[in-house]
Amino acid sequence: MVHAVLEGDRDAFRILVDRESTAVVRACYRVLGDMHEAEDIAQEAFVSAYRSLASWRGDGPFGAWLSRIAVRLAIRQASRRRAVSWVRPLGAADADPAASIPAATRTQPEQVALRAESLSATRRALAGLDEPYREVVALRFFGERSLEEIAILTGRPLGTVKTHLRRGLLRLRDGLEPRGFA
Amino acid sequence: MSGPMPFGPEELGPTEGSELDDSLEAIRSLETVAADANVRTGTAFTDRVMAALANEPSPAPAGFLLPLQRRGLLAGFGQSVRQAWASIGAGRPTFARAAALAYVLVVAIAGTSLVGAATFGAAGALGLLGPHESVAPSPATTTAPVTTPAPPAEPAPTLEPAESPEPSETAEPSDDHGGGGVEPSDDHSGGGAEPSDDHSGSDSGGDGSDDGSGGSGGGPRPSPTDEHSGSDDGSGSGSDGSGSGGGTDD
């Protein structure tokens, strides 16, 4: 499929977009917490991947390579913007923070606000991590990539990736603790 | 939605108890965020991405050459250059950008050269370049006249030969002709010395009467035969005023 794209077949890339778009947009949303922003970044990731397609070595799944691009762009976007937490109104579309709240308490505005703030704090803590911990943690939990895939993507040994993940999680917890969300 | 990949503690490698607890706390927070994303995309998003890629050149390293291959050299040339120009921008591998930049530069240089040559050729065909070329030689021609006055200067020195005795010697034969010439030698000398214009002057002023011969300017040659002929003609040939002399001969 990628070879077909490299030979100028745009329809082949359309198939790739169809296949990977949900995972890419989801990863971006997990990092950013805003659907419109996530779609913008996901689109940017596809365009960037298309431009750099010739540099893809093919030593891992195409989706993993694409996820790395998307997560990087999303983290960069999250680092840029101000620390503003968005609270979606009840009844909003799919990614409603209140969806995971028990039905009995779902209608309580303070519960919705607290949950939204908790999610936002986690995202901020992740965006505040240093590299390479941030990338490893984001790819593992938001990009849904295995440690083996991350090792291939980043070109690091698996043991090093595990170490980065462990240290990244500890720093993330330290980042959440002062706010009382951990 | 597909939930996050289940996490196993073995993924952390060897960890102590407290570190493991802290890590698991962080993991729970992350999994909460991950589970929150119930995202579905449709064809609208795909269309949006493909629309953004509409003007993008092929991602191949030299993808900007594909239009030439597909549309032909003439039809695909414009699109090829356009895509190469777009490939120079950021967001592409360095090699691809360098290749695109080199292609654009080559096209620009070749285009400039062709346009310049065509302009020059057209100007030449229309004769716009003619005046410039004719102007250049004109100074050369003007300088030529400047130098030409020099030769007239030579005749001036030629006056000197009039004084030279040599012609006078040659004039001796003319004496025979002249016969009664009182001073033919003088006359001849003048004539013989120089067939040129100067000669005439001397003839006319002097005794052209003696020898038309002198005047005849047969003068050019000091040889007696010539002088004779001249004299015979009585020539008015005397362009040099020799005419007068001729008259006397007869």
Burial of residue B86 (number of CB atoms within 10 Å: 0-12, 13-18, 19+)? middle
φ/ψ region of A63 (left if φ > 0, alpha if ψ in -120 to 50, else beta) reads alpha
CA B84/CA B58 separation, integer angstroms: 10
User: Which residues make Cβ contacts (< 8 Å) with residue B237, sequence separation at least 6?
Assistant: B216, B217, B230, B243, B246
**How confident is the model over A62-73, as a mean pLDDT?**
90
Three-class SS of residue A81? coil
Is B29 within 8 Å of A42 when comparing Cβ atoms? no
The angle, 0 to 180 degrees and rounded to 10, between the axes of the packed helices A147-154 and A158-176 is: 110
Q: What is the per-residue pLDDT for B132?
A: 55
Best residue in A3, A11, A30 for a mutation probing chain B (most B CBs within 10 Å):
A30
Q: For A49, what's the count of Cα atoms within 13 Å in the CB-facing half-sphere?
A: 31
**Cis, bond preceding A132 (omega within 30 deg of 0):** yes
Is A173 within 8 Å of B26 when comparing Cβ atoms? yes
CA B63/CA A16 separation, integer angstroms: 19
> Computed from CA positions of residues A82, A83, A87, A92, in that sequence, does the dihedral angle turn out positive or negative?
positive
CA A143/CA B40 separation, integer angstroms: 15
CA A94/CA B95 separation, integer angstroms: 42
Nearest beta carbon to residue A25 from set B5, B36, B45: B45
Q: What is the per-residue pLDDT for B84?
A: 78
Centre a 10 Å sphere on the Cβ of residue B156 and count the other Cβ atoms it contains: 9
Question: What residue type is B93 in one-letter code?
Answer: P
Is residue B176 over pLDDT 60? no
CA B198/CA B100 separation, integer angstroms: 83
Q: What is the per-residue pLDDT for B181?
A: 40
Q: What is the pLDDT of residues A110-135, one digit of tens each?
A: 777 877 888 888 888 888 888 888 88
More confident residue, B150 or B49: B49
Is residue B233 over pLDDT 50? no
Residue-averaged pLDDT of chain B: 62
Question: What ranges in chain A are assigned the alpha helix state H?
Answer: 2-6, 10-32, 35-51, 62-80, 109-127, 133-141, 147-154, 158-176
Q: What is the per-residue pLDDT for B232?
A: 43
Q: Is B77 in CB contact (< 8 Å) with chain A?
A: no
Is A170 within 8 Å of B56 when comparing Cβ atoms? no
Q: What is the per-residue pLDDT for A34?
A: 84
Is residue B159 over pLDDT 70? no
More confident residue, B56 or B225: B56
Binning pLDDT at 50, 70 and 90, where does residue A53 land? Answer: confident
Binning pLDDT at 50, 70 and 90, where does residue A69 land? Answer: very high
User: Which residues make Cβ contacts (< 8 Å) with residue B2, sequence separation at least 6?
Assistant: A144
Q: What is the per-residue pLDDT for B171?
A: 45
Which among A170-174, B135-139, B167-171 has the top mean pLDDT? Answer: A170-174
Binning pLDDT at 50, 70 and 90, where does residue A46 land? Answer: very high
**How confident is the model over A91-96, as a mean pLDDT?**
50
Q: Per mean pLDDT, which range of A19-28, B42-51, B167-176 is the poorest?
A: B167-176
How long a stretch of residues is chain A? 182
ipTM of predicted complex: 0.72
Binning pLDDT at 50, 70 and 90, where does residue B246 land? Answer: very low
Q: What is the per-residue pLDDT for A41?
A: 92
Whole-number Cα distances in Å, B145 to A85, B140, B141, B151, B157: 97, 9, 7, 11, 20
Best residue in A5, A29, A39, A51 for a mutation probing chain B (most B CBs within 10 Å):
A51
Q: Is B70 in CB contact (< 8 Å) with chain A?
A: yes
**How confident is the model over B181-196, as a mean pLDDT?**
43
State both tokens at B172.
């001796």
Q: What is the pLDDT of residues B99-118, one digit of tens each?
A: 888 888 898 899 999 999 99
CA A45/CA A63 separation, integer angstroms: 12
Q: What is the pLDDT of residues B85-99, one digit of tens each?
A: 877 776 667 777 788
> Computed from CA positions of residues A39, A18, B1, A106, in that sequence, does the dihedral angle turn out positive or negative?
positive
Question: What ranges in chain B are assigned the alpha helix state H?
Answer: 17-36, 43-52, 66-71, 77-87, 94-125, 130-135, 137-147, 150-153, 155-163, 165-178, 184-193, 197-205, 212-216, 224-233, 242-249
Q: Per mean pLDDT, which range of A120-129, B60-69, B131-140, B238-247 is the poorest?
A: B238-247
Q: What is the per-residue pLDDT for B185?
A: 45
**How confident is the model over B42-46, as a mean pLDDT?**
83
| Residue A87: DSSP 8-state | -
Is residue A70 over pLDDT 90? yes
Q: What is the per-residue pLDDT for A8?
A: 73
Closest-CA distance of chain A to residue B25, Å = 6
Q: What is the per-residue pLDDT for B134?
A: 53
Nearest beta carbon to residue B40 from set A94, A99, A181: A94
